[in-house]
Homo-oligomer: A and B are copies of this chain.
Amino acid sequence: MAGVSLGSRPTVKDVAAAAGVSATTVSRVLAGNYPVSASTRKRVLRAVQDLDYVINAQARALVGGTTRTVAFIIRDLVGPLFAYIGQGVEQQATAEGRVCLVCTHHGDADRELELIELMREQQAEAVVLVGGGLRTPEHLERMAQIARSLERVGSRLVLCGRPPIGPDVPATVVEYDNEGGAFAVTNYLLSLGHRRIAFIGAAEPEHTTTSARFDGFTRAHAAHGLTVDPSLVAGGTFDRESGYRQTKALLTRDTGMTAVVGITDIVASGVLAALHEAGLRVPEDISVAGYDDIPMSADLNPPLTTVHIPHEELGRSAVRLALHRDDYAQDQHLMLGTHVVIRKSTAPPRER
């Protein structure tokens, strides 16, 4: 490692000078896309090593037109949903030779816009938005605008776990079957014999995740010739505390419920806590199901019956589709399946 000078980064020119060749030749040796004589190549590689040279990604992107960067915008880094989707995105990005930018907006819509703008500056090849969103006309219109904005600079908007924006909006969409999963798990409870099933966490009808899951819940009832009793439907948010509080509230009334579906596993864990506190046994006295199949679900007491989402596959597909949109031109909308995972928190209802 002789000749390494501290302070300023060596450039192609420095390498060229050290090897006694031109900058072009250095570039060619490194890219390997042009014939170079063995002896020259050797000298260049030697100089690269001596100077500890690495290419300047910015300069390369400037001339090459592509940054080999995928951006990943999400609400929060904590929370179990992120990890696996993020892992999928990162893995696929890496597999495709891209690096991965990650940003969080903590639920702040303005901040999300800022981030997208930032990614437009960064020329990210794909901008992956994770998680459900609102479905109001204004929000949809704004998303459509963003999609077009990104397209204009060569980026691709990718929606991960959220339904498409509109037919003529340039975006890649990878979602999973929210409604089907809710249908399946509710159907399972109904098949066990439950007839009074509570649904916890349906406050925002405009939120795509909320509404789809509630729709599945409703459809399963319909399929059994039943209608949902509104007094068994509780609102709330997506956290454990909410599940806990809503359950407490339901227990004070004499609802006759024999099962509870939490809108997420996190909510369901709050449900379990409230039931335990009330001295009810799960599943002997009451069954509980969740949604998401986060790792923790298997460790709850009892292990939670829930709906599995292919988190990682979601992230991988998102990146894969977006980067190969020439090949997959037809089909920039993917719907992944979900399935029920039966554990110990569900059982037939007690005899009356």
The answer to the question of A39 belonging to the interface, with a C-beta cut-off of 8 Å to chain B, is no
Chain B residues lying within 8 Å of A55, measured Cβ to Cβ, are 121
Question: Which residues of A from 281 to 310 have beta carbons under 8 Å from B?
Answer: 295-296, 299-301
- Give the contacting residue for A90; candidates B54, B100, B102, B152; CB below 8 A: B102
How far is A269 from B298 in the complex, measured between Cα atoms in Å? 12
The answer to the question of A61 belonging to the interface, with a C-beta cut-off of 8 Å to chain B, is yes
User: Would you call A299 and B269 a contact (CB within 8 A)?
Assistant: yes
The answer to the question of A87 belonging to the interface, with a C-beta cut-off of 8 Å to chain B, is yes
User: Would you call B87 and A99 a contact (CB within 8 A)?
Assistant: no
CB of A64, distance to nearest CB on chain B (Å) = 10
How far is A52 from B151 in the complex, measured between Cα atoms in Å? 12
The answer to the question of A335 belonging to the interface, with a C-beta cut-off of 8 Å to chain B, is no
Number of copies of this chain in the oligomer? 2
The answer to the question of A77 belonging to the interface, with a C-beta cut-off of 8 Å to chain B, is yes
Contact code string A68-97 (vs B, CB < 8 Å = 1, else 0): 000010001111001110110011001000
How far is A154 from B56 in the complex, measured between Cα atoms in Å? 12
- Give the contacting residue for A100; candidates B58, B82, B103, B299; CB below 8 A: B103
Contact code string A143-160 (vs B, CB < 8 Å = 1, else 0): 000000101111000000
How far is A300 from B299 in the complex, measured between Cα atoms in Å? 7
User: Would you call A100 and B102 a contact (CB within 8 A)?
Assistant: yes
The answer to the question of A4 belonging to the interface, with a C-beta cut-off of 8 Å to chain B, is yes
User: Would you call B104 and A90 a contact (CB within 8 A)?
Assistant: yes
How far is A299 from B80 in the complex, measured between Cα atoms in Å? 14
The answer to the question of A224 belonging to the interface, with a C-beta cut-off of 8 Å to chain B, is no
- Give the contacting residue for A56; candidates B6, B62, B72, B101; CB below 8 A: B62
The answer to the question of A9 belonging to the interface, with a C-beta cut-off of 8 Å to chain B, is yes
The answer to the question of A120 belonging to the interface, with a C-beta cut-off of 8 Å to chain B, is yes
Chain B residues lying within 8 Å of A72, measured Cβ to Cβ, are 102
How far is A7 from B155 in the complex, measured between Cα atoms in Å? 11
How far is A99 from B299 in the complex, measured between Cα atoms in Å? 35
How far is A269 from B295 in the complex, measured between Cα atoms in Å? 13
The answer to the question of A113 belonging to the interface, with a C-beta cut-off of 8 Å to chain B, is no
How far is A100 from B55 in the complex, measured between Cα atoms in Å? 20
User: Would you call A78 and B67 a contact (CB within 8 A)?
Assistant: no
- Give the contacting residue for A58; candidates B5, B67, B87; CB below 8 A: B67
Chain B residues lying within 8 Å of A61, measured Cβ to Cβ, are 58
Chain B residues lying within 8 Å of A104, measured Cβ to Cβ, are 87, 90-91, 94
User: Would you call B122 and A57 a contact (CB within 8 A)?
Assistant: yes
| Contacts A55-B121, A77-B87; A152 near B102 (Cβ below 8 A) | no
The answer to the question of A59 belonging to the interface, with a C-beta cut-off of 8 Å to chain B, is yes
The answer to the question of A123 belonging to the interface, with a C-beta cut-off of 8 Å to chain B, is yes
CB of A324, distance to nearest CB on chain B (Å) = 20
User: Would you call B99 and A100 a contact (CB within 8 A)?
Assistant: no
CB of A14, distance to nearest CB on chain B (Å) = 12
The answer to the question of A118 belonging to the interface, with a C-beta cut-off of 8 Å to chain B, is yes
CB of A265, distance to nearest CB on chain B (Å) = 11
User: Would you call A153 and B87 a contact (CB within 8 A)?
Assistant: no
- The residues of A with any CB-CB pair to B shorter than 8 Å are 4-7, 9, 52, 54-59, 61-62, 67, 72, 76-79, 82-84, 86-87, 90-91, 94, 99-104, 117-118, 120-123, 149, 151-154, 269, 295-296, 299-301
Question: Can you list 30 contacts pairing A with B, beta carbon distance less than 8 Å?
Answer: A4-B152, A6-B151, A6-B152, A7-B152, A9-B152, A9-B153, A9-B154, A52-B152, A54-B117, A56-B62, A56-B123, A57-B122, A57-B123, A58-B122, A58-B123, A62-B62, A72-B102, A77-B87, A77-B90, A78-B83, A78-B87, A87-B104, A90-B102, A90-B104, A94-B103, A100-B101, A101-B102, A269-B299, A299-B299, A301-B301
